[in-house]
A and B are shown apart, each in its own frame.
Chain A
């Protein structure tokens, strides 16, 4: 069990900056998800923790030890690779046993020592049982399904009881159904082991469902850290707002209107109320980007803005209504049982003033 802390960590490959001044503290026992689009530096950040990449600048700590110069094999972390990286030439049992063979372990009597083969066998049995692999111990990896290989990789990671688990998109090679099931199993595993998990993914569903906290990365830079709901509810900038949520948040340009405490933004000829705007030092006429999530737009006869329906997508339990709002395309999410709408209808819309997000069009930072 250990805390993992990045302090101003930068990683450069030649002139590519893969990770840029990352400062992030992952708490002991936390399930932290590093989330971001392809190429944002998630894997590089994880590999620096593992010791598979050197740190160009900054300091990296695991527990109370600065590990910049500690070799990978001495870091006491385990990694689950996207490809699982099982040893193809030995059995499942030998694969799981592998981290126990070379290392010394403190078995409680003070001085670390090598495990006996009986002790190793016991731990392998235990890890295999925990992941339902008992009947597969004699097989080679080639004779396993994708889901089974993934569990062997997990068993191999947990058998040495490392201070931290590092996982790089471990579910991306599984089919959708197995992925959903494995998500739940991973959360249970995390609770059982009570160890720090650092989990890399570009899949926001994985991030939202499993994380204690999410760290959103883009272009090697940290955009926002927080619990999934907080990141979803109050994105710090336009990138996070658009990256998290499916379909993504609607974003349209507008202008601040301040008159006698009236708190609204105007887009086209229409205006939307925004909570908290009165307190913000925004001058009348300031250009902003208005963001509203598809499910926060409600059809209401007293609606402040009007949008024309372009298309309706049925998804069974819900429908997505694609509309034109003052020349911008927006999406509304509705329950399947809501009043029917048809292409060409003009819908009056409102939004809860507490759920309207404003962003600076230049810095893309959140304004309210």
Chain B
């Protein structure tokens, strides 16, 4: 065997463990999902029959899925822009050389340490229609189908804020002081400096964050489940919530197809991410 061939063989050998893990936990479940989507079970789950690919068309074009996409899409619009703007504001406020600024940076980033469940419980206390402190705030009322999704979104924004803050802060700290000082000497005040210099220079960071937050929002489930159980009137039934609640044997095929649909949406967003991050300007020196 040539040295080259030996090295190649060793390389593949080293890939085997991760390939096994991937096959076991990803490719096989995905395959099972397709199989489930192609069959329909009876009420008790004791028998199933082939329903074929037309089932995919029925479910993905159906009322349920379209409603889930609409709610999830609205959820993306509620959480991503607001989360980004708040994260940038906090990071800009905390990005200065002041005594004790580390304390503020720690406070602002602290929600990183909380889980979705913790965040949701906190917002139950705040927004619950019966016992919440802010139950009377109509804008985020969880008992009104028109506003419940906003309340759920608010808890997500809060929970993701720590991560957004930390990443934006890192981006801001990578902007050379001298470039900002040059803009000062060029006659620009703080606001114009922010829009002319800082924002463009951290735009790759913001782009990355936007994609991450979109994917988070597409996967939103626990916050809706804990805060509103999908209600009122199904107004907070996100895609994952609908998938999770398709557990009756008779619904499982539908759930599987919706899961594949969500996978497709997420895949498209991720591909867009790669394209954007690949094409983004490299500001190296």
Contacts and interface: CB of A to CB of B under 8 A. Distances in A.
Contact of B201 (A77, A88, A103): A88
A73 B183 CA distance: 9
B187 A85 contact: no
B185 A78 contact: yes
B192 A85 contact: no
A72 B184 contact: yes
Interface string B172-203: 00001011011111111100100011001100
25 contacts: A50-B181, A52-B184, A73-B186, A73-B188, A77-B185, A78-B185, A79-B185, A83-B176, A85-B176, A86-B182, A87-B196, A87-B197, A88-B281, A88-B285, A98-B182, A99-B185, A99-B187, A101-B186, A102-B186, A102-B188, A103-B186, A142-B281, A142-B283, A142-B285, A156-B182
Given A52-B181, A142-B283, A99 B186 contact: yes
A232 to B, nearest CB: 33
B236 to A, nearest CB: 40
B185 A50 contact: yes
Contacts of B196: 87
Given A89-B201, A89-B283, A98 B186 contact: yes
- The residue in B184, B185, B187, B201 that gathers the most chain A C-beta atoms within 10 A of its C-beta is B185
Nearest to A153: B182
B282 interface: yes
Nearest to A52: B181
Interface string A90-106: 10000000110111000
B61 interface: no
B11 interface: no
Interface of B: 176, 178-179, 181-189, 192, 196-197, 200-201, 281-285
B16 to A, nearest CB: 41
B192 A81 contact: no
Given A73-B188, A102-B192, A142 B183 contact: no
A79 B182 contact: yes
A90 B197 CA distance: 10
* B contact face: mostly helix, strand, loop, or mixed: helix
A89 B176 CA distance: 13
Interface of A: 50-52, 72-73, 75, 77-79, 81-83, 85-90, 98-99, 101-103, 140, 142, 156, 160
Contacts of B201: 88-89
Contacts of B197: 87
Nearest to A162: B185
A81 B179 CA distance: 9
B282 A142 contact: yes
Contacts of A50: 181, 185
Contacts of B200: 89-90
* A contact face: mostly helix, strand, loop, or mixed: loop
Nearest to A72: B184
Nearest to B181: A52
Contacts of B282: 142
Contact of A73 (B187, B284, B285): B187
Contacts of A78: 185
A156 B187 CA distance: 13
B185 A72 contact: yes
Contacts of A87: 179, 182-183, 196-197
A192 B88 CA distance: 45
A90 B178 CA distance: 16
Contacts of A156: 182, 186
B172 to A, nearest CB: 15
Nearest to B201: A89
Given A88-B201, A88-B283, A73 B179 contact: no
A142 B179 CA distance: 14
A234 B176 CA distance: 42
3 shortest interchain CB distances as A-B pairs: A85-B178, A102-B187, A88-B283
A275 B179 CA distance: 53
A75 B184 CA distance: 11
- The residue in B182, B189, B197, B283 that gathers the most chain A C-beta atoms within 10 A of its C-beta is B182
B187 A89 contact: no
Contacts of B187: 73, 99, 101-103
B181 A98 contact: no
A81 B182 contact: yes
Contacts of A90: 200
B189 A73 contact: yes
A73 B284 CA distance: 27
Nearest to A71: B184
A90 B196 CA distance: 10
Contacts of B176: 83, 85
B96 to A, nearest CB: 15
A160 to B, nearest CB: 8
B283 A73 contact: no
B283 A85 contact: no
A160 B200 CA distance: 24
Contacts of B284: 142
